A and B are shown apart, each in its own frame.
Chain A
Amino acid sequence: MLSRRLLAALPALFVAVPARAQQRARRDPNPDASIEIEQVRVGVLALGASVGGGRLRFRGEEHRFTVRGIEFGTIGLASLSARGEVFGLRRLEDFSGRYAEQANPRYRGDGAAGPETRWLRNAAGVELRLRTERAGGQLRFNEAGVTIELR
């Protein structure tokens, strides 16, 4: 009787262990890399020019990248400083690509999110957690997404 119950419970055990492991991975707050983004924009509404870029620190090395699709500031001179962490980055090549904003990120760490924290994810499953330090105006992401390219 007991052995029959054990046999019945075995499949549930096999299902439960990966599910718990997956849950642990989802809540993993340890980032794989860190990023910094700096941009300055001058202009009026849609007309204007901006200068900026970013730095990725991955496995002890610093990599430059360009970023497009972050919108901030409407009139005059505005600056944006953002810092953050990268999750799910296994290879450097996966970092480039188009990122879309995520309302429910996979890697949300406990207490890491705040009102100025935004999450982005690309097709390779890389997630960015960005905290804006200074933004001269409301920070928005382009509807087409944020494009990051390594230099």
Chain B
Amino acid sequence: MDGFLVAVLLSSWLFGFSTLLSIINPFGIAFVFHDMTRWLTARERSRLARQIAINSFIVLVVAMFLGSRVLSFFGISLEALRIGGGLAVAAAGWTMLRADPTASAAPKAMDTAPVERMAFFPLTLPLTTGPGSIAAAIALGAERTSAAQGALLVSALSAVMVAVSVAACVWIAYAKAEAIARRIGPQGTMIATKLTAFLLLCIGVQIMLTGVTDALRPLIAARAG
């Protein structure tokens, strides 16, 4: 592999990893994960963190490789996905922001659900890889602009690398959630959770804004022309 393809690989990975990491924000969501699983033992929580990381990898890879095909099958534009996904992310952030920090009762479904089942819903989807990150993953998968020989293979390789590295961050953040929460205390955890919730709300609004801007651009250009 020559320098050009290595640079394409690293550049795509860098862009995809930073984009998805800022949207998924595993180190911030780890506080929410810890809050939702506080009745589990440390061993169970560690096992759950690994399972969520594997699930997140699968969701991201499927979104990056098949997402645009599924969208085109249903006739959904990327702009529509961004507006819908952004709305869902913003709504999740708003709910977290407004939640009463003193209410410590866990959701009823979580009390009886086996660890394996809660690993996918709600902890992987929508908490970790929500509509926003799926929309971003689909957009990353669709962004294969280089026409150079071998670039398609490199692009596929970088997509797998992005999913692996994001999943690894999810695993580390969730597995260490208890240690981080213990270190910063309940007050610090509450502040971190609220800050994360506010960030999630802003990310959702930004995704919606991008979708609306992209959808309106041809109309504005037609009017200006």
Residues on A facing B (Cβ under 8 Å): 36, 38-40, 51-55, 57, 62, 64, 66, 77, 79-81, 83, 133-134, 151
Q: Are A53 and B4 closer than 8 Å at their CB atoms?
A: yes
A/B interface sample: 16 pairs, CB < 8 A: A36-B148, A38-B11, A40-B7, A40-B10, A51-B3, A51-B6, A51-B10, A52-B4, A52-B7, A53-B2, A55-B148, A57-B147, A79-B10, A80-B11, A133-B145, A134-B15
Given A36-B148, A55-B148, A64 contacting B11 (CB threshold 8 A): no
Contacts of B14 in A (CB 8 A): 40, 77, 79
Given A38-B4, A51-B6, A54-B4, 15 more pairs with CB closer than 8 A: A38-B8, A38-B11, A38-B146, A40-B7, A40-B10, A40-B11, A51-B3, A51-B7, A52-B4, A53-B2, A57-B147, A79-B7, A79-B10, A79-B11, A79-B14
Q: Which of B15-59 contact A (CB under 8 A)?
A: 15
Q: Which of B135-162 contact A (CB under 8 A)?
A: 145-149
3 A-B pairs closest in CB distance: A53-B4, A52-B7, A38-B7
Interface residue from B3, B15, B145, B146 paired with A52 (Cβ < 8 Å): B3
Within the complex, what minimum Cβ distance (angstroms) separates A113 from chain B?
18
Cα separation A36 to B4 with both chains bound (whole Å)? 9
Cα separation A52 to B146 with both chains bound (whole Å)? 14
Cα separation A39 to B14 with both chains bound (whole Å)? 12
Q: Are B148 and A53 closer than 8 Å at their CB atoms?
A: no
Most chain B beta carbons < 10 A, residue from A36, A62, A66, A133: A36
Contacts of A62 in B (CB 8 A): 148-149
Chain A contact residues, majority secondary structure: strand
A-B contacts at CB below 8 angstroms, number: 50
Residues on B facing A (Cβ under 8 Å): 2-4, 6-8, 10-11, 14-15, 145-149
Closest residue of chain B to A83 (Cβ to Cβ) is B145
Contacts of B146 in A (CB 8 A): 36, 38
Interface residue from B3, B6, B15, B145 paired with A66 (Cβ < 8 Å): B3
Contacts of A54 in B (CB 8 A): 4
Within the complex, what minimum Cβ distance (angstroms) separates A21 from chain B?
31
Cα separation A81 to B15 with both chains bound (whole Å)? 11
Contacts of A38 in B (CB 8 A): 4, 7-8, 11, 146
Cα separation A80 to B12 with both chains bound (whole Å)? 10
Closest residue of chain B to A55 (Cβ to Cβ) is B148
Cα separation A80 to B148 with both chains bound (whole Å)? 16
Q: Are A64 and B7 closer than 8 Å at their CB atoms?
A: no
Within the complex, what minimum Cβ distance (angstroms) separates A70 from chain B?
12
Contacts of B2 in A (CB 8 A): 53, 64, 151
Cα separation A151 to B2 with both chains bound (whole Å)? 11
